[in-house]
């Protein structure tokens, strides 16, 4: 099916109503069973009374964030959930990282992530992360660079620290392109790579980048570690139609990590600031309840635990999410509660994976299973009444379940 | 996958054989469980020995008539089942309404629905439905208008009453377009809107429409209510490749309601006339058996019962359909029997819905479930061996099951 046409149709059918939708995303929730943990996944094993009770009166299913077999990054994973085709709207890492720290992009911006790194006197990279220097030190270095580099070839330059050895640089100049390969060589013992432009528009950006690296190296030249930086994920700003325009929703985003706040902002969501814990997120949901009709609540640490291969920690995050956010959502009695993930992060693989994610949709029109002892889990969702669907179908399903989507045709 | 290319491939692979296919569509069959009826859907609860027996030797699955989350109107719902992409072949309301009363369209027709309405002496609309005048009176007005208006600017004009204050007007002239906005202002206190053409071909139609409204106003000018009409849903006749051409089938349609006969006619099916009951439809299936290799049998009243929220009535229609049409189909032993729906009409919602519909395909090549006590129901179909698929995949599945589709590639 041609997705643009479908989105157009969805947008025409969407109508404003009083009903509310809560979309809870446990980042990297999906997992695979491990023999040493009783052959279960963290989700299967977690004590999650609210989700279990919901599951018995909800429709369950499996969702492919991008397509079967494709492992999503965090950006594409969320784009799909929000209804923007991730294969047609590629978000570079530079942009995502910048959104993550709340950088206010304009149309003229090209962003890239960088790592502080260490090179030897021959210019060969000997540590791609500069010993993972601490945030304080890296922030000072960023300040020093920004102080000395404000403009190159007519492009404004913004240098921002992100976390530990990581930062973002933004070049702002009308008409410059972001189609450049990484300068990070991905291994040590060789110099960083030249920024070769991949199209005409990116030629000036390549020049700016070369000069930027040269000047940075000069500024950091007295140091014997963290004396250069490696650039990755060049990207131009992308514009997405807002949730308000597409779906006639007034959306609110609740998240602890900057990147997810940034992704939500791309979709035109109002982002609640200042949440650092699940409890604070639950409180934000409660406090903002009256002012919005769509809530995106993001739970980060299931993914982090999966990446660490920490099955127990992942299970615990699920249990905490159930106790805080899911219970608050239930208490507010919205027409629709959806619990799902942006991708799987199986503990066994210690990385994102292609496995479809479990989905629970609770509404007055949901179709619960006719099997007994149903729970919210990867394997029970595989037999659910929603079947298996693509993430691009999620928003239409949520809108329909909330009575917000008119009939198509007569 | 791009659907046009797919349809082209299907068409190339389709081959004429002796085998027969019976497609039984229970309109609005899909439902959701209701607690007060033992947590069951009408289909789950119905005593339907023929379907139950079929289910145990059939492939079961769920089908999205358009796409997950999209609620189909009757027109798009049937287009999908027949294999025509409903997102690419939009049928306007004027056409559907005309098909619904059995109007015989030609390629040269533009149709629009109309409401009788009341305007004041300044021309402002004060009642968009003329007090919902009764059918008798509206039919008389339609007769009077048709009597006086037979042709405008070389276009033949057909005025037909539908029900209560509603009717259809058809302008027949070679080359005229139907791309016009509604003249219904959707609110009172202002005059009706000008029919502004949205493309070159619709310019003459706009002129004809203006003159039509002017003449109608003159005819009704003595009245203090129902003294004008408002036009909506302009649409040209759409041309679909016929079943014969696409699938090499000789198709027969058996239905009681004009709209479904009209939709079948759009697909080039031969429509049996004079069926008013399920018994008559079953008899028509038997009598026409030798002359066709594809039978579309439409059962209307599951949908009507769903729209009324009448769970018992819906269950009863399913039981009657089993006793009459399904039993007749079984008796004739076609290679393929398929039982499905054009959309769901849950009693709880009293309207069409987006829920996928249950599908049963019985053939010598079907793969029955390995679970015990299998029956034909929404929830058992969710676990069926067909999985969940789009309606555009139904015709290829039926053709293959009937041995009518050659291998693609070597």
Q: What is the DSSP string of B94-141?
A: HHHHHHHTT----TTEEEEEEEEEEE-TTS-EEETTGGG--HHHHHHH
Contact A409 B62 (CB under 8 A): no
Strand, coil or helix: A395: helix
Chain A residue with Cα closest to B79 = A409
**Domain boundary at A186, A204, A236, which?**
A236
Contact A397 B75 (CB under 8 A): no
Q: Is residue A25 part of a domain?
A: yes
Is the predicted ipTM greater than 0.90, yes or no?
no
pLDDT at A100: 79
- Strands (DSSP E) found in B178-273: 228-236, 251-254, 270-271
In a shared domain, residues B48 and B18: yes
Q: d(Cα B298, Cα B295) in Å, to the nearest integer? A: 10
pLDDT at B3: 54
Contact B379 A367 (CB under 8 A): yes
Chain B residue with Cα closest to A10 = B70
Q: Is residue B4 part of a domain?
A: no
**Which positions in chain A touch B262 (Cβ < 8 Å)?**
none
In a shared domain, residues B270 and B395: yes
**B192 in A contact zone (CB under 8 Å):** no
Q: Is residue B2 part of a domain?
A: no
In a shared domain, residues B104 and B64: no
Contact B379 A370 (CB under 8 A): yes
Q: d(Cα B28, Cα B25) in Å, to the nearest integer? A: 9
Give the tokens for residue A405.
């989507």
Q: How far is A266 from chain B (nearest CA, A)?
A: 24
Query: Distance between alpha carbon A272 and the CA centroid of its chain, in Å?
Result: 16
Residues 6+ apart with CB under 8 A from B66: A408, B72, B76, B77, B80, B86, B87, B391
What CATH number corresponds to the domain at position A161? Answer: 3.30.70
**A304 in B contact zone (CB under 8 Å):** no
With residue A11 as reference, give the H or E element that holds it: helix A3-13
Max Cα distance, chain A (Å) = 74
**Which positions in chain A touch B75 (Cβ < 8 Å)?**
409-410
In a shared domain, residues A348 and A328: yes
**Which positions in chain A touch B72 (Cβ < 8 Å)?**
407-409
Q: How far is B85 from chain A (nearest CA, A)?
A: 9
Q: d(Cα A86, Cα A70) in Å, to the nearest integer? A: 11
Give the tokens for residue B190.
């202002």
**A329 in B contact zone (CB under 8 Å):** no
User: How many helices (H) and strands (E) would you count in chain A?
Assistant: 15, 14
In a shared domain, residues A85 and A170: no
Q: Which among A14, A11, A7 is positioned nearest to A404, based on CA atoms?
A: A14
Contact B71 A408 (CB under 8 A): yes
Window B:380-399, CB contacts with A under 8 Å: 380, 382-383, 387-388, 390
Contact B71 A406 (CB under 8 A): yes
Q: Is residue B66 part of a domain?
A: yes
pLDDT at B96: 85
In a shared domain, residues A180 and A327: no
Contact A365 B355 (CB under 8 A): yes
Q: How far is A313 from chain B (nearest CA, A)?
A: 33
**Domain boundary at B203, B236, B269, which?**
B236
> Is there a contact between B79 and B91 (Cβ–Cβ < 8 Å)?
yes
**B6 in A contact zone (CB under 8 Å):** no
**Torsion region of B192: left, alpha or beta (phi above 0 gives left; psi -120 to 50 gives alpha):** beta
Q: Is residue A186 part of a domain?
A: yes
B293 φ, ψ (degrees, to nearest 5): -120, 0
pLDDT, one tens digit for every residue, chain A (410 residues): 445 788 889 999 999 999 999 999 999 999 999 999 999 999 999 999 999 999 999 999 999 999 999 999 988 999 999 999 998 888 888 898 888 788 888 889 999 999 999 999 999 999 999 998 999 999 999 999 999 999 999 999 999 999 889 999 999 999 999 999 999 998 999 999 999 999 999 999 999 999 999 999 999 999 999 999 999 999 988 888 999 999 999 999 999 988 899 899 889 999 999 999 999 999 999 999 999 999 999 999 999 999 999 999 999 999 999 999 999 999 999 999 999 999 999 999 999 999 999 999 999 999 999 888 899 999 999 999 999 999 999 999 999 999 999 999 87
**A269 in B contact zone (CB under 8 Å):** no
Nearest to B72 among A397, A399, A409 (CB): A409
> Domain limits at B395?
12-90+240-401
Residues 6+ apart with CB under 8 A from B333: none
Q: Is residue A288 part of a domain?
A: yes
In a shared domain, residues B179 and B324: no
Q: Is residue B338 part of a domain?
A: yes
Give the tokens for residue B253.
């349609």
Q: How far is A252 from chain B (nearest CA, A)?
A: 22
Interface contacts A/B by beta carbons within 8 Å: 109
Give the global pTM: 0.87
Give the tokens for residue B147.
């009597």
Contact A400 B352 (CB under 8 A): no
Chain A residue with Cα closest to B90 = A409
What CATH number corresponds to the domain at position A287? Answer: 3.40.720.10
Q: Is residue A19 part of a domain?
A: yes
In a shared domain, residues A113 and A208: yes
**Domain boundary at B172, B204, B236, which?**
B236
**A335 in B contact zone (CB under 8 Å):** no
Contact B76 A385 (CB under 8 A): no
pLDDT at A3: 54
**B66 in A contact zone (CB under 8 Å):** yes
**Which positions in chain B touch A410 (Cβ < 8 Å)?**
73-75, 91, 93, 96-97, 233
Domain count, chain B: 2
pLDDT at A1: 40
List Cα–Cα distances, A150 to A9, A157, A170, A171, in angstroms. 46, 5, 11, 10
In a shared domain, residues B64 and B107: no
**B113 in A contact zone (CB under 8 Å):** no
Reported as a single tens digit per residue, the pLDDT across B212-232 is 999 999 999 999 999 999 999
In a shared domain, residues A132 and A249: no
Which residue numbers in chain B have pLDDT < 50? 1-2
In a shared domain, residues A232 and A371: no
Burial-class residue A56 by CB neighbours within 10 Å (0-12, 13-18, 19+). Answer: middle
In a shared domain, residues B264 and B360: yes
**Which positions in chain B touch A14 (Cβ < 8 Å)?**
none
Contact A396 B33 (CB under 8 A): no
Q: Taking the CB of residue B378, how many other CB atoms lie within 10 A of it?
A: 27
List Cα–Cα distances, A125 to A94, A211, A213, in angstroms. 21, 18, 14
- Please tell me what DSSP assigns to residue B253: E
pLDDT at B122: 94
């Amino acid at each position: 099916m041609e997705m643009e046409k479908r989105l157009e149709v969805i947008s025409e059918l969407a109508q404003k109503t009083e009903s509310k939708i809560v979309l809870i995303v446990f980042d990297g929730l999906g997992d695979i069973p491990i023999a040493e943990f009783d052959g279960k996944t963290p989700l299967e094993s977690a004590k999650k009374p609210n989700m279990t009770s919901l599951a018995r009166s909800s429709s369950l299913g499996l969702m492919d964030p991008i397509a079967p077999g494709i492992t999503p990054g965090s950006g594409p994973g969320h784009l799909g959930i929000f209804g923007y085709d991730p294969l047609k709207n590629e978000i570079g890492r530079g942009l995502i990282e910048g959104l993550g720290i709340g950088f206010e992009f304009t149309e003229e911006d090209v962003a890239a992530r960088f790592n502080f790194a260490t090179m030897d006197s021959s210019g060969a990279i000997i540590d791609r992360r500069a010993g993972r220097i601490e945030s304080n030190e890296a922030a000072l270095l960023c300040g020093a660079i920004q102080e000395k580099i404000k403009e190159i070839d007519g492009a404004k330059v913004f240098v921002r620290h992100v976390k530990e050895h990581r930062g973002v640089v933004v070049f702002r100049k009308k008409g410059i392109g972001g189609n450049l390969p990484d300068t990070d060589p991905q291994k040590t013992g060789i110099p960083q790579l030249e920024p070769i432009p991949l199209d005409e528009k990116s030629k000036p950006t390549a020049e700016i980048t070369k000069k930027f690296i040269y000047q940075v190296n000069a500024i950091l030249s007295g140091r014997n570690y963290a004396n250069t930086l490696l650039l990755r994920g060049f990207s131009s700003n992308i514009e997405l139609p807002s949730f308000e325009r597409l779906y006639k929703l007034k959306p609110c985003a609740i998240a602890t990590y900057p990147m997810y706040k940034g992704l939500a902002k791309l979709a035109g969501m109002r982002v609640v600031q200042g949440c650092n814990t699940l409890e604070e997120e639950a409180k934000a949901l409660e406090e903002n309840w009256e002012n919005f009709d769509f809530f995106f609540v993001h739970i980060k640490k299931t993914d982090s635990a999966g990446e660490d291969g920490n099955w127990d920690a992942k299970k615990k995050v699920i249990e905490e999410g159930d106790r805080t956010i899911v219970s608050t959502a239930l208490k507010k009695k919205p027409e629709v509660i959806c619990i799902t993930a942006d991708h799987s992060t199986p503990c066994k693989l210690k990385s994102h994976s292609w496995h479809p994610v479990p989905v629970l949709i609770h509404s007055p029109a949901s179709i619960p299973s006719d099997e007994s002892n149903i729970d919210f889990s990867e394997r029970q969702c595989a037999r659910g009444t929603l079947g298996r669907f693509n993430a691009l179908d999620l928003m239409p399903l949520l809108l329909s379940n909330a009575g917000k989507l008119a009939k198509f045709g007569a």
